[in-house]
Structure 1
Amino acid sequence: MTYLRSWPNGASPAAPVLLCLPQAGASALQFQDWQVRLGASATVCAVQLPGREDRWGEPPPASIAEVVGAVKAELADAGLLDRPLVVFGDSLGGLIAYELARAVGPSALVVCVCRAPAYWARQGGLHEDDVERLASASVEGSDLPPELVAELRDIAAEVLRRDAELSKTFHDVPGTEPLRCPVYAWGAVADETVTPAQLDDWRDVTTGPLHRHDFAGGHRISRDDPGTVLGRLSRVLADIAEEEPS
């Protein structure tokens, strides 16, 4: 099954493409509402990794490189690499978004609550304590019966462990050619996972400008307050559209 998911949008062939990569354990479905909100101003595509929703029964990818190669090929087949492209990655999705940006050369890279690549390489990807914390956060505040909450948490932990193994395939190779596009590194002031310094160090991955911003909220800001994140993303998309030659 394919990686890319998209939804009806009515966007012109010249409109920007917003390619979204979700947090560890999450799926492409959360971005369907982003297409509804953006309307015809952009085409929203999202990456659906194996092992969730309609890809539940598929084996996980062997590496981030495998994911990047497959997504790049699908973007090319759909003609989306011929349009202005903004790649958005959320947490672990930001790391995959970075590798994808290196492969396709987008108009901009936007990473949200994601450590800079050097930190991922040093820590060796997500650890079991990250998995347990994120799995618990996924069901926090649920009013479902306790037995159902426990079952959903176990399912979330299973998906997160697959993503943790995927994250460990990233290697920050010294001397890697930097990106040339602007990078937007966004954090959240109540995020206990990603520090401002880890976001500031995104400056090292590009010869273009680094734009830093911190939202009010925590690590799940894109899901807890998607309107605020999408509002800022809309401005990035508008700026990119204005820069493209007519």
Structure 2
Amino acid sequence: MNAANSAWLRVLREGEQPRARLVCLPHAGGSASFFRPWLAHLPGDIDLLAVQYPGREERFNEAAITCLDTLAEHISQALLALPAQPLLLFGHSLGAALAYAVGARLQNVGAGAAHVFVSAHPPPHRQPPSALHREDDATLIADILRQDAEAAGLWANPQLRALFLPTLRSDYQAIETWRPTHLERLAAPIDVLLGSDDREVSLDQACAWTDLTHHCPDIRVFQGDHFYLKQQPRAVIEQLLQRYACPKEALPCTAP
């Protein structure tokens, strides 16, 4: 099976002899096409795939999934069906939680990722409680715009708002109701990326990813807000590739 056979994986590039497979997991309300601009900055010997959640783009007519564990299970099964390759997982915001959850599932069946990158999100045991998915439309949209002011045009359009808000609300429900009872410590390094002006995750929270890996995470702060990666994709990709190429820098941490 190749990635093109799975609705869960959008193939942005697949080569004949790649040295690694980079799989990107979007934020709440995001879609696989968010990562298409990365093709311009990624070496040709790295395959690029992006996860496509139900309820958007070519999966628009499918019901969104409101359970993060269910999403992680579907994504894990789609990845397990692919030919074996070194796997890099990159998740932004909601996608960061999913990257960890998918990484844990793959590890439990002996197919763990080579490296996991989490962006703009605290680890699950440090995620503050919230229930924005239960709030009215105006409150939910205000929270979106607080994180991404560039999206104001989309949410000001009544037709687009009616189309996309239910899916976004489902994504918020998935992350806000995720309360895993067991947190697996990954054998793979977990590295953390965040924006300097992002109020969604503090440096202290970012450091807490240490609890979920046998390595000391590298924490890289980029200039910008929650969506810092939109303005500097090349710098983000260079960080991923540098960290993957230098596993010796992922030093063991003392167990808590």
Over 3 Å counting, the alpha-carbon distance change for 1:188 and 1:138 in structure 2 is: closer
Distance 1:26 1:114 in 2: 15
* Aligned equivalent of 2:242: 235
Task: State which of 173, 178, 199 in structure 2 corresponds to 1:165.
Answer: 173
* Aligned equivalent of 2:208: 201
Q: Cα distance, 1:98 vs. partner? A: 0.7
2:144 is matched by which residue type in structure 1? L
Q: Cα distance, 1:48 vs. partner? A: 0.6
| TM-score for the superposition, normalised by structure 2 | 0.80
1:102 is matched by which residue type in structure 2? A
Distance 1:126 1:147 in 2: 16
Over 3 Å counting, the alpha-carbon distance change for 1:140 and 1:147 in structure 2 is: closer
State how 1:7-22 maps to structure 2 within 5 Å. Answer: 7-10=12-15, 12-13=17-18, 15-22=19-26
Q: Cα distance, 1:203 vs. partner? A: 0.8
* Aligned equivalent of 1:100: 102
Are the equivalent residues in 2 in contact too, given 1:135–1:156 (CA < 8 A)? no
Distance 1:147 1:4 in 2: 27
Q: Cα distance, 1:74 vs. partner? A: 1.5
| TM-score for the superposition, normalised by structure 1 | 0.83
* Aligned equivalent of 1:133: 143
Q: Cα distance, 1:189 vs. partner? A: 0.8
Are the equivalent residues in 2 in contact too, given 1:11–1:39 (CA < 8 A)? no
| 1:23 correspondence with 2:31 | no
Are the equivalent residues in 1 in contact too, given 2:64–2:167 (CA < 8 A)? no
2:169 is matched by which residue type in structure 1? R
Task: Write out per-residue CA displacement over residues 82-111 of structure 1, whole angstroms, 9 at most, x where no aligned residue.
Answer: 211111010111011110010112111101
* Aligned equivalent of 1:111: 118
CA-based RMSD of the aligned residues comes to 2.7
Distance 2:233 2:132 in 1: 24
* Aligned equivalent of 1:123: 129
Which has the larger displacement, 200-209 or 226-235?
226-235
Over 3 Å counting, the alpha-carbon distance change for 1:147 and 1:131 in structure 2 is: closer
* Aligned equivalent of 2:87: 85
Task: Write out per-residue CA displacement over residues 98-133 of structure 1, whole angstroms, 9 at most, x where no aligned residue.
Answer: 10010112111101111111123x515655456532
Over 3 Å counting, the alpha-carbon distance change for 1:136 and 1:213 in structure 2 is: closer
1:164 is matched by which residue type in structure 2? Y
Instruction: Give SS of 1:38's match.
Output: coil
2:89 is matched by which residue type in structure 1? V
Are the equivalent residues in 2 in contact too, given 1:12–1:40 (CA < 8 A)? no
Over 3 Å counting, the alpha-carbon distance change for 1:106 and 1:90 in structure 2 is: same
| 1:6 correspondence with 2:8 | no
Aligned length: 234
Are the equivalent residues in 2 in contact too, given 1:187–1:215 (CA < 8 A)? yes
State how 1:51-90 maps to structure 2 within 5 Å. Answer: 51-79=55-83, 82-90=84-92
Percent of residue pairs identical: 27
Q: Cα distance, 1:46 vs. partner? A: 0.7
| 1:211 correspondence with 2:218 | yes
Task: Write out per-residue CA displacement over residues 106-163 of structure 1, whole angstroms, 9 at most, x where no aligned residue.
Answer: 111101111111123x515655456532156556376x6x996454455443332010
Structure 1 gaps of 5+ residues are: none
1:85 is matched by which residue type in structure 2? L
Over 3 Å counting, the alpha-carbon distance change for 1:136 and 1:195 in structure 2 is: closer
Are the equivalent residues in 1 in contact too, given 2:31–2:53 (CA < 8 A)? yes
2:185 is matched by which residue type in structure 1? P
* Aligned equivalent of 2:109: none
Distance 1:208 1:125 in 2: 32
Over 3 Å counting, the alpha-carbon distance change for 1:45 and 1:219 in structure 2 is: same
Over 3 Å counting, the alpha-carbon distance change for 1:130 and 1:115 in structure 2 is: farther
